[in-house]
Every structure is written in C-alpha cells, then in structure tokens.
Amino acid sequence: MHLLVLGGGGFLGHHAVTAALGRGHRVTVLNRSGESSVENAVVLTGDRDGDLSALGSGTWDAVLDTFTDPRPGSPAVRRTAELLSGRVGTYGYVSGMSVYAPAGPAVPDESAPVRSAGTEADDDPLQERSLAKLAAEELLGDVFDGPVLLPRVGIMVGPRDPSDRFSYWPLRFARARAGTREGPVLVPGDPSRPVQYSDARDVADWVVAMLAEGASGTFNAVGPGRRETLGEVLDACLVAAGARPGDVELVWTDEDWLRGQVTDVPEEHRPLWFPEDQIPQDAVDSSAALAAGLAFRPAEETARDTLQWAWDHALSDGLAAGLTAEREKELIRAWRSR
C-alpha cells in the first residue's frame, strides 16, 4: 500500500506513519514543515488552509486525515477530499466519540444518534470539536469518490501524547518513589469505576491495517477492549514506575467534591481521570472494531513506554496537564479536614 498521511508529525499521525512503514508500506506525508518525524517517509510541503499544489498530482491507495477544522462545513477536509477524489483508494478520517448526541445511559454504537452538524457550538470547545468532526464525516460521503473509513476514537494515551493527561500519573508515581516529589498522591473518584482509553499506537496500527484492506464504514475504536477500572490502571502506572501497589500512599477523593475544587482548572489540563462531563467511560461499544482486529496492549506496557518518553519531555517542555505539588497538598489538606 502507498499511504498518504495528512500531517503525520504529531500524535496519532506519527504512530500511523510508524505503523505503516513497519508493515512494509510506502508512506508520503504532507505537512507545513516539509519534514517528517519518522525516517523513510516521503515528505510533501503543503498547508491545509493554503497551498496544496503538492497534492495536485499523484495517486495513493489510501489517505489518513486526522485534521479537525472548526469552521462551518469543515472546508479544509472538503478541499482535500475534492482534490484527492479519483486518485486515492480509501479516505480514512479520524473522528471521535464527541459526535454522539447526549443519550443518557444508552450505549453509543455506530448506529446511535449523533449531534446535528447544524447545531451552534455555543463557545464550548468540546461541542465545537464535535460539530467539526460531524461536518467532516457528513461531507466525505458526498464529496469523496470512493470508500470512506471513519474510526471514532476516544481518549488516546501513550508516548507523544500532547495533552500529558495520562503521562502525569506514571511520572507522578515515579517522582514519589524517587523522592523528588513526595507523596501522598491525590487521586480522583472511585477505584472501582470502569474507564475506557486507547493506546494511540494500537489505534494507529489497526487503522493502517484497515486501510490496507480497503475497509470502509464507521467504527467505534475505543479501548482497552476489556473491563478495566481506574484503580487497576493506576496500579499499572505504579508498577511501570518501579513501585508496587501500596508503596505510594494514594488519597482517594470524592468526585463531586473534587469537581467543585478544580473549577479553575480547564478539563484539558486536569490529569486523567478527573470528573469529566462526557460520555460515561463504560458506555462505548467498540465490539465491531474488535471483531475487525482492533486489539490493545496491557496497561502496564502503555504506562511504562509513556513514562520512558515523558521523563525527557517533562524536563524540556514541562507538562501540559496535572497538579503542582503545592496545589496537590492544598487539596489533600482540604479533603482531610472536611
């Protein structure tokens, strides 16, 4: 397969390029920098909002697009779909769980109701992203002359995660174990609460395999493909940090209480899994994708690899999410003195 990746230098795109090359496919990357974060990929220079002349000729077996265009009608996705129509076999567009309409306790599956792409975003970043993804999904079926693959992903974690929301945990435990940031560690909610998350490398590898097969359709693609609780995932982060469950004191706090204490911290800057007003984490049905070969590595492997990457990342760039030592201590004192 000759795969065209639009972007390919960030998180999921980077792992898709790596997965495709590892499977022996040829990969062309389009981005503004004209450089690739992965060796052996052919690089084209272009701008989704500007010059796309580099895509004016050539053919590919598939394209992978992770772009979120917040403008009405998702014009950047429309433009590339029109430009590549007839010269690309399958158009893979990475959508997300946010497209589902709020449906109470119902389990979102690929046929579940979704939000209306014509709804006003109302200055809500999550809703804005939701409507952008929906608009892209809807236009691809009309504009692109070929099969379309729509993986709807959820919370993705792993090395190169720009949010740092999962990375905070193994790094926090490693620092507690090393004594560079003492415990106890504040953790949110109920350890028995089921959580869903995906290692981006696993999603990327599956999407590449699906595109190589010429597969099409809409799939929920959310891990871990097994029932896993918050407590189990944090235990895996402890083990990845070289500790054992019980080596580091954890202070579990009530979610409703904690929600009121961190209103000044935007959700995207909180560690996973603080209380989040999204689809319940045990409510997404990804059975169709699992039947089509999607599989996820153990939580401990994800935590270990994330920690290895996060050490240097945190030292050079700092973390985009998490609690400072001072804020964590304040919250623990407030919880204990209720």
Domains with residue ranges and CATH for the chain:
2-153 (3.40.50.720), 160-196+224-279+298-336 (3.90.25.10)
Distance CA(315)–CA(229), nearest Å, equals: 30
The pTM is what?
0.91
Among 224, 60, 90, CA closest to 150 = 90
User: Which position has the token pair 């400072």?
Assistant: 324
What angle is formed at CA 250 by the lines to CA 244 and CA 256, rounded to 5 degrees? 140
Structure tokens at 275: 């209380």
Element (H, E) at 240: helix 230-240
Q: Is the pLDDT of residue 260 over 60?
A: yes
Distance CA(96)–CA(100), nearest Å, equals: 9
Q: Mind listing the pLDDT tens digit for each residue in 9-24?
A: 789 999 999 999 999 9
Is the backbone peptide bond immediately before 273 cis, with ω within 30 degrees of 0?
A: yes
Q: Evaluate whether 6 touches 67 at the Cβ level (below 8 Å).
A: yes
Q: Is the pLDDT of residue 37 over 60?
A: yes
Among 236, 227, 237, CA closest to 310 = 237
The secondary structure of residue 58, as a DSSP letter, is -
Residue 79 to residues 65, 75, 99, 147, 211, Cα–Cα distance (Å):
12, 6, 21, 17, 21
Q: Is the pLDDT of residue 54 over 70?
A: yes
Distance CA(158)–CA(216), nearest Å, equals: 26
Structure tokens at 262: 């961190």
Q: Is the pLDDT of residue 59 over 80?
A: yes
User: What pLDDT shows up at residue 258?
Assistant: 93
Q: What is the mean pLDDT of the chain?
A: 89
**Residues paired with 29 in a beta bridge:** 5, 43
Residue 113: CB atoms within 10 Å: 12
In three-state secondary structure terms, 316 is: helix
Q: Is the pLDDT of residue 172 over 50?
A: yes
In three-state secondary structure terms, 19 is: helix
Give percent helix, percent strand, percent coil of the chain, each to the nearest 5: 40, 15, 45
Query: How does DSSP assign 263-308, residue by residue?
Result: TTS-GGGSPTTS--SSS-TT----HHHHHTT-----HHHHHHHHHH
What band does 64 get if pLDDT is binned at 50, 70 and 90? very high
Q: Evaluate whether 310 touches 240 at the Cβ level (below 8 Å).
A: no
Q: One-letter amino acid identity for 280?
A: P
Distance CA(181)–CA(172), nearest Å, equals: 8
Least confident of 30-39, 50-59, 102-111, 306-315: 102-111
> Which of 27-41, 46-60, 126-140 has the largest mean confidence?
46-60
Q: Is the pLDDT of residue 237 over 50?
A: yes
Q: Is the pLDDT of residue 111 over 80?
A: no
Strand-strand pairing, 42-45 and 156-157: unpaired
Residue 220 to residues 64, 131, 137, 205, Cα–Cα distance (Å):
17, 17, 14, 15
In three-state secondary structure terms, 92 is: strand
